[in-house]
Amino acid sequence: MDEPLLARLHFGRDDAERDARDGRGLLLRGGFLPNAAHDAAVSGRKMLIIGRKGSGKSAVCMRLMADGTDRPGRVLVTPDDAAGEQLRRFELEGLPGASAKALIWRYVFALHAARFLVAHAEDAHDRRPAAVRALRRFLKKNGELPDASGAQLGSRLAQSARGLQTSLSLEAFGVKAGLDLAQSPSEGAHAGGQLEVVERGVAQAFAELGCDTAHEPLLLMVDQLEQVWSAEPDSDSMVIGLLLAARHGASVYGRFARFLLFLRSDIYDSLSFGEGDKYRGDELRISWTRQALRDLAMARARASAGPELTEQRLWREVFPPEVDGEEIAEYLFRRCLPRPRDAIQFLNRCLDTARETPGRDRITEADVRQAGRLFSAWKLKDLSQEYLVAHPFLANLFPLFQNAGYVVTRAVLTERFEGARETLHGRFPAYAGTLTPTGIVDVLHAVGFLGVRRGNDVVFAGDDALPAQPHETEFHIHPCFREAIGATDAIHLWPYEPLVARDRIVQARGFGSIVFGRSARNRDDSLLDELRRSCRSVLSQVDRAVLLTPDVRSMIRERIEHVLDDVGCIPHDAGSMDMEGHLLSTARYFASFAAQLRASGLDDGAGGVGGVARRLDEEARRLRGVAGGSYGSLT
């Protein structure tokens, strides 16, 4: 009997490295979605693939490595802690930090190219010309032959660093290092001279083999650099050195080799160096739309459950078609940061939640909501961990937004910050310059926690490269974090409760006719009509408030429509109901609603919440007048 679809369905591992190694992993079994980054990497148009954590950089890298199994020349460098320590600490007298670290990176690239050429000469070209033999002698003499000692990259780098800082054995290239380079003016110049000899030897070997016409160029890739990076000058120099080395290598090896660096955007964007503008044409930033995430989910679903799985079946039978009235895919991917890892985690959490109940063959709306609450908590914690090095205070900012509306203004945030200023500055004195209302907005927008309202849209980091501007005053918490932060409504408003007052009972059947000359029912109906009129007047003002964002507009409408629905539940012959009390209660609710809208700090103009608040106050006064008139006629 075939395994049920829900049991077979899976969206893959959270990280590309594990997914690629896993026998059941989907990355290499149809679960990879080719994108602009992959195409640019394959074609050689770009050298820098930049993206946030979880955006798919390593997936592209793993895909390229897998594609290289039937092609010559794919080399991946992933520094471990020991290697990172060597790279950060490497120094040369006479050279600034980044220039010195560029030399050690250049040597790493030259060694990898030399090892590749020694093995590749016989495997692919069935010959070993003189330049290749010289490379092999050089590697052997310096203890750099492939897996000669089984040493890890860190210990090999330590050895390489010592060679550059002292003397390499260059006899294989016809150079006596101690004799020919002894007169170098500095340690840096000495290391640079040795390295040029090695690079010329590698380039000569490429040329003698004729690799440029026989096959694709050697692809040298560096990934996972964030594992050895910290927010220290030495770490920045290490990354800048890598960029300088890759650019230099591209000019030295020309058509024989290409370089591909996968860098996290927060690391790359924090760098400041004089030649940074030269890399703009080499950059490609990974970005994901909701449709692209949906396509990725479908590719992975088919890779796990079979190619016969259709979108119709996945999104309307396995998943519920809608959640809270929103189409399921839109609901899911709107609550993810725009990157594959988040989408994969949310989808898999929905599956796991459904499977916790034995015998289930589909995911319910309740499963999706429950999964969403846990997912939101994960992502809030993950966000602070992702930026722990660059922004160690991040988790301490979240209480400023807790249990309030997800729309917050600069003025309201400033007020909240003032109450926490002393505590934040006491815990993080080194970051006091950043821990200001403006600095907090800048950081939270950059990491994706806050979006900026621009016109009638809310723009999050990644949608627009423009940071939050000083004149922008309205910010929205990303839907991904709202459940965890307790901010599920646009504005923190008291919930509407049915206001039918039952404490004042009109006992006299003829009461209305004695006082007013008409029946109680007619009087009650008249009051209800006035209440309906007030609700519709407010709703009309909401529709005309062009400065309201759609979610704020929807929230205000929902509250007023609850009042209107409550009116519709009152029977026409409810002679025992206190209709005047009901109007007064509604008037009080309208007045408090108006006060809360003003307190939100949102646009107070006629086209924003200010116009709605004024209309609520006007209708509250009118309802009190209508109710007060009836009481006055009784006395």
CA dist 278 and 282 (Å) reads 8
The predicted-structure confidence for 461-493, as pLDDT tens digits, reads as follows 876 668 889 899 999 999 999 999 999 888 876
- Report the range of poorest mean pLDDT among 310-324, 433-447, 483-497: 483-497
User: At residue 239, does pLDDT exceed 50?
Assistant: yes
Which residues partner with 405 through β-bridges?
Answer: none
Domain ranges of the chain: 5-13+295-386, 36-285, 394-485, 511-632
For residues 517 and 532, the model is more confident at 532
The pLDDT score that the predictor gives to residue 200 is 94
- Model confidence at 68, pLDDT cuts 50, 70, 90, reads low
Token pair in block for residue 405: 């509306």
CA dist 583 and 578 (Å) reads 9
8 A C-beta contact, residue 50 and residue 263 = yes
The predicted-structure confidence for 109-134, as pLDDT tens digits, reads as follows 999 999 999 888 877 677 788 999 99
Measured on CA atoms in the order 338, 340, 343, 346, is the torsion positive or negative?
Answer: negative
The pLDDT score that the predictor gives to residue 152 is 60
8 A C-beta contact, residue 388 and residue 394 = yes
Kindly list the distances between the CA atom of residue 429 and the CA atoms of 153, 270, 425, in Å, as whole numbers in the listed order: 38, 21, 5
Instruction: Please name the residues in contact with 6: beta carbons below 8 A apart, sequence gap of 6 or more.
Output: 318, 351, 354, 355, 360, 361, 362, 363
- Report the range of poorest mean pLDDT among 79-93, 174-188, 533-547: 174-188
CA dist 529 and 536 (Å) reads 11
The pLDDT score that the predictor gives to residue 493 is 67
The pLDDT score that the predictor gives to residue 27 is 60
- Model confidence at 390, pLDDT cuts 50, 70, 90, reads confident
pTM for the whole structure = 0.80
Site of tokens 């049920």: 4
8 A C-beta contact, residue 547 and residue 474 = no
CA dist 182 and 83 (Å) reads 29
- Model confidence at 573, pLDDT cuts 50, 70, 90, reads low
If you average pLDDT over every residue of the chain, what do you get? 84
- Report the range of poorest mean pLDDT among 73-82, 239-248, 262-271, 385-394: 73-82
User: At residue 71, does pLDDT exceed 70?
Assistant: no
- Model confidence at 501, pLDDT cuts 50, 70, 90, reads very low
The pLDDT score that the predictor gives to residue 48 is 93
- Model confidence at 151, pLDDT cuts 50, 70, 90, reads low
At what angle are helices 97-124 and 233-253 packed, to 10 degrees? 40
CA dist 331 and 348 (Å) reads 15
Token pair in block for residue 251: 């000019």
